[in-house]
Structures are given as structure tokens and as C-alpha cells.
Amino acid sequence: MGLLRKFLNQTRRPEGLLGRIMLNGMNFGHAFVADWAISLMQDMLNAHDVNQIAELGCGNGRDAGELLKIYKAAKLTAVDYSPLSVEKTIKNNQAAVNAGRMKVIHGNVSDLHSALEPQSFDLATAFETIYFWPGLTRCFEQVFNILKPNGHFMIVTESDGRDKISKWFQKRIDGMNTYTSSEIEAALNSAGFAYIKSTHHKSRPWLMILARR
């Protein structure tokens, strides 16, 4: 495997020096799509209804920190299956961790019941991560189970499943799969989610999907 491919594969499970470089780059690379999605979500959810947040696939922790800025009364549990991502998320949000507002744990989205209590969260988020989840419906069922009744699940992707750039990356990153909004919605329905709203960016292939348990 060439160096470029090794580096690109760090997006799936960052580790070592290349993983640290990748995670540092995520601060800038994913910020625009994340902030776009969060701004949409603010218009859809009442902040008073969000007290417990699960950030799934937290990466470097940038988005976890942004969520706590928006939902000032909430507490957040960040989960990632990369120990390096857990380390970086804690480091980048040390004040929130020290204040008891954020907890960061090592866990797998396909086995959330081992890490998180059922029906405990008002909101679950997944920024730029479902590409690597091992079976959408199975993983979405795990998310469904940790949400409280009427809890929400926000999915954010830079790919709409058809854009050429993401297809290029998919060919070079092991285990990566991009999805159309219809495919994501079908998996959410199969997992039990009732209300699903998809928003496509006007000029980019970005998707924000908000589902309610």
C-alpha cells in the first residue's frame, strides 16, 4: 500500500503519526459541513429539550466542543473506536471534561449497548462517519436504542452518494461506503425511526438528515 493510500485510510481508524496528522487536518477540513448542519439543526430542535448528547465517531473532538457551545445546559458523551481519537478529543476539550460536561469513551457504534445506557440521550450525532459503519441498519438500531422517546439522531455527510470526489476516495479507502439520502432514510426506517427530514446543500453534495425516535 502506497503512502497516500495509507494516509487516506487513517480517516477510518486514525492511529500512529499518520493518524495524528489526519486528525489535526479534520479541524479545518470538516468544519464547514459540520457548522452548516449544526445551524440547520438549531432551527429544528429546541435547545431546552437537549440535555444529554451522544457524539458518535468523535474524531478529534472539534464537533463535540461546538455542540456544547450551542447546547449550554447539556452534557455530552463522545464515542470513538480509535484510541487515538479518544485521546485527541479529551485533549481538545479538556476544560469541558474537567467541568464534567463531557465524557469521552472508547466504543464501537455496532455495539453501543456495551458502552451507553439505553434510552439515555436526547440527541445523537454522527459527523462524517457513517461511511465506515459496519451495516447501516444494524448500527442505526443501536442508536435508536440509546435515544429517549422522541430523541433525535443527526447524520452529516459531505457526500450525497453520487459526487465524483467521494467516489474517488471510496475506491482508495478500505471499508468506505457512501450513501444516497434515500439509502440512509431506508436504513433509518428499518431501524425504527419515525420522522425523517433530509436536507441537501444548495450547491454542494452535503447532506444533513435528522431522524426522530
Q: How far apart are the first and last CA of the chain?
A: 42
| Residue predicted with more confidence, 78 or 27 | 78
Residues 108, 151: Cα–Cα separation, whole Å: 20
Cα torsion at 82, 162, 30, 72 (round to 10°)?
-90
Number of domains in the chain: 1
* Burial (CB count <10 Å: 0-12, 13-18, 19+), residue 139: buried
Return the number of other C-beta atoms located less than 10 Å from residue 197's C-beta.
12
Find the CATH number of the domain harbouring 151.
Answer: 3.40.50.150
Q: The domain containing residue 179 runs over which residues?
A: 3-212
- 210 — pLDDT class (breaks 50, 70, 90): very high
Residues 72, 103: Cα–Cα separation, whole Å: 15
Residue 185 confidence (pLDDT): 97
Residues 198, 210: Cα–Cα separation, whole Å: 6
Residue 152 confidence (pLDDT): 97
What pTM, to 2 d.p., does this model score? 0.88
